[in-house]
């Protein structure tokens, strides 16, 4: 029997809806626990887990919301729910979770759902699920279901939606994912312009017995990879495509995020890193490029993607951003600098070929990381997609694993 499903909602306003979903899941023979995260009044249906028990897990260690306005109360409840669900999972109690709510509820509940490890079934039903859900889902695997009508009462539409959501969660619980051979998992970052490099490295490491997880370096890709490092799912990194840094520093559409590389400060995971595709900043269609960049060197990748070549000054700032992060790293890192080009567009005859701009990037990284005993910075006289560079990346990782 799978562990219990936790049905979560503000049961002072959505008690009947939480009860309805709980009953629908019980019909599948699953154990269910309802969780009240209401902050306004008493629940309209008695929960299995009351809000006092949840709040006691919060950082304040208080079961009271007295003296707080609504926003403060919701924030305290959300922080407490994060800790509560994490503990229930670690204790072997929680096997899956489903939340119900509007704009407030989705913010409160999904923070906790994101804290549950990837692969654990998790569903959120909300009125705002048809809009921009990135702030609520982040890099997690939360399944989000639009409620169509407000989560306010049981009617001809809401009962169908809630039943479908309950059945989806039950299906996830009863339909276990196929077993996968246990291999050490590695995280790798890739862009279209670094595909030959990363594919070559991946294939070689897979032949050595590794399970290689490739992440598209679109901002969320790098963050998702590092989230799996925090979950202890990934045992090594080949972060060869750090183009997200250029978007973070210059203002592209695939930013690394303020916390990129921070995981290296809390983990001793071995990492081979490079500067793949840091010759470019990403924008959408040509007309979306900011006016201040209209006269820059642009390359139309397709109708929805426009690339902009980074300048020497931007490369210096990108290097400084990385240095600030990497100086705090605890584990062994080898940073490989491909001197003949960092992307398919940065090669002789290609539109972004600019050795002088690359030189600034390389020199700044070497200067800023010179005093880090755990970081080796190495120039490789090859293009990032050349066989020579691919082989050096593979060998560097093997050296880190055996050191």
pLDDT, residue 135, reads 83
Are 226 and 217 within 8 A, CB to CB? no
User: Topology of domain 4-174, per CATH?
Assistant: Rossmann fold (3.40.50)
Q: Does the pLDDT of residue 63 top 70, yes or no?
A: no
Q: Domain spanning 185-402: which superfamily?
A: Uncharacterised protein family UPF0261, NC domain (3.40.50.12030)
DSSP designation for 132: -
Q: Whole-angstrom Cα distance, residue 177 to residue 173?
A: 9
What is the rounded CA–CA span in Å between residue 100 and residue 125?
5
- Please report the pLDDT score of residue 179 as a whole number: 63
User: Where in the chain is CATH 3.40.50.12030?
Assistant: 185-402
Per residue in 124-144, pLDDT (tens digit) is: 999 888 778 888 888 789 999
Distances (CA, A) of 401 to 195, 206, 394: 24, 15, 11
Percent of the chain with pLDDT over 90: 79
Which carries the bigger pLDDT value, residue 403 or residue 111? 111
pLDDT 10s digits, 274-323: 999 999 999 999 999 999 999 999 999 988 999 999 999 999 999 999 99
* 180 pLDDT more than 80: no
Q: What is the pLDDT of residue 40?
A: 86
Pinpoint the residues of the chain covered by CATH 3.40.50.12020: 4-174
Report the pLDDT value the prediction gives residue 89, as an integer from 0 to 100: 94
Largest CA distance in the chain: 70
CA distance 3 to 94: 6
Residue 138 burial (10 A CB sphere; 0-12, 13-18, 19+): middle
Give the helix/strand (H/E) hosting 398: helix 387-402
Residue 377 predicted with pLDDT over 90 = yes
Lowest mean pLDDT among 70-79, 154-163, 184-193: 70-79
b/e sequence 187-222, b meaning 16+ C-beta within 10 Å: bbbbbebbebbbbbbbebbeeeebbbebbbbbbbbb
Dist CA 336 CA 386 (whole Å): 13
Which tens digit of pLDDT belongs to each residue from 199-252? Answer: 999 999 999 999 999 999 999 899 999 988 988 889 999 999 999 999 999 999
- Across the strands, what pairs with 101? 126
Task: Reply yes or no on whether the pLDDT at 1 is more than 50.
Answer: no
How high is the pLDDT of residue 281? 97
The mean pLDDT value for 136-162 works out to 90
Measured CA to CA, the distance from residue 226 to residue 44 in angstroms comes to 41
C-alpha span between 99 and 137 (Å, rounded): 13
Q: What is the mean pLDDT of residues 321-329?
A: 97
Is 67 a residue whose pLDDT tops 80?
A: no
Return mean pLDDT, the chain. Answer: 93
The tens digit of pLDDT for each residue in 45-62 reads 999 999 999 999 987 666
- pLDDT value at residue 104: 86
d(CA 62, CA 73): 12
């Amino acid at each position: 029997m799978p562990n219990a499903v936790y049905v979560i909602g503000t049961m002072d306003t959505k008690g009947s809806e939480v009860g309805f979903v709980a009953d629908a899941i019980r019909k599948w023979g699953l154990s269910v626990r309802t969780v009240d995260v209401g902050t306004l009044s008493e629940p309209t249906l008695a929960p299995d887990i009351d809000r006092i028990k949840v709040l006691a897990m919060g950082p304040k260690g208080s079961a009271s919301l007295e003296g707080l306005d609504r926003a403060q109360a919701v924030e305290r409840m959300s922080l407490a729910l994060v800790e509560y669900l994490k503990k229930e999972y670690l204790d072997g109690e929680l096997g899956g979770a489903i939340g119900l709510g509007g704009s407030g509820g989705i913010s409160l509940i999904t923070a906790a759902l994101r804290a549950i490890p990837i692969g654990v079934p998790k569903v959120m039903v909300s009125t705002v699920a048809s809009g921009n859900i990135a702030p609520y889902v982040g890099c997690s695997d939360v399944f989000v279901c639009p409620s169509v009508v407000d989560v306010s009462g049981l009617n001809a539409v809401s009962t169908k939606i809630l039943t479908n959501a309950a059945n989806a969660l039950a299906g996830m619980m009863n339909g276990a994912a196929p077993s996968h051979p246990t291999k050490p998992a590695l995280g790798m970052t890739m862009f279209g312009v670094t595909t030959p490099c990363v594919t070559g490295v991946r294939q070689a490491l897979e032949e050595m017995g590794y399970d290689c997880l490739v992440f598209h370096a679109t901002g969320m890709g790098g963050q998702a990879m590092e989230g799996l490092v925090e979950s202890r799912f990934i045992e090594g990194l080949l972060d060869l495509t750090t183009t997200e840094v250029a978007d973070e520093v210059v203002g592209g559409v695939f930013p690394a995020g303020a916390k990129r590389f921070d995981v290296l400060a809390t983990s001793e995971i071995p990492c081979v890193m490079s500067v793949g595709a840091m010759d470019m900043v990403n924008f959408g269609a040509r007309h979306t490029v900011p006016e201040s960049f209209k006269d820059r060197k642009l390359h139309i990748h397709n109708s929805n993607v426009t690339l902009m070549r980074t300048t020497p000054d931007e490369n210096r700032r990108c290097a400084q951003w990385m240095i600030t992060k990497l100086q705090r790293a605890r584990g062994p890192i080898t940073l490989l600098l491909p001197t003949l080009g960092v992307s398919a567009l940065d090669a002789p005859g290609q539109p972004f070929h600019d050795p002088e701009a690359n030189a600034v990037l390389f020199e700044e990284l070497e200067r800023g990381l010179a005093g880090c005993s755990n970081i080796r910075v190495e120039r490789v006289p090859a293009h990032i997609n050349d066989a020579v560079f691919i082989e050096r990346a593979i060998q560097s990782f093997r050296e880190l694993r055996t050191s």
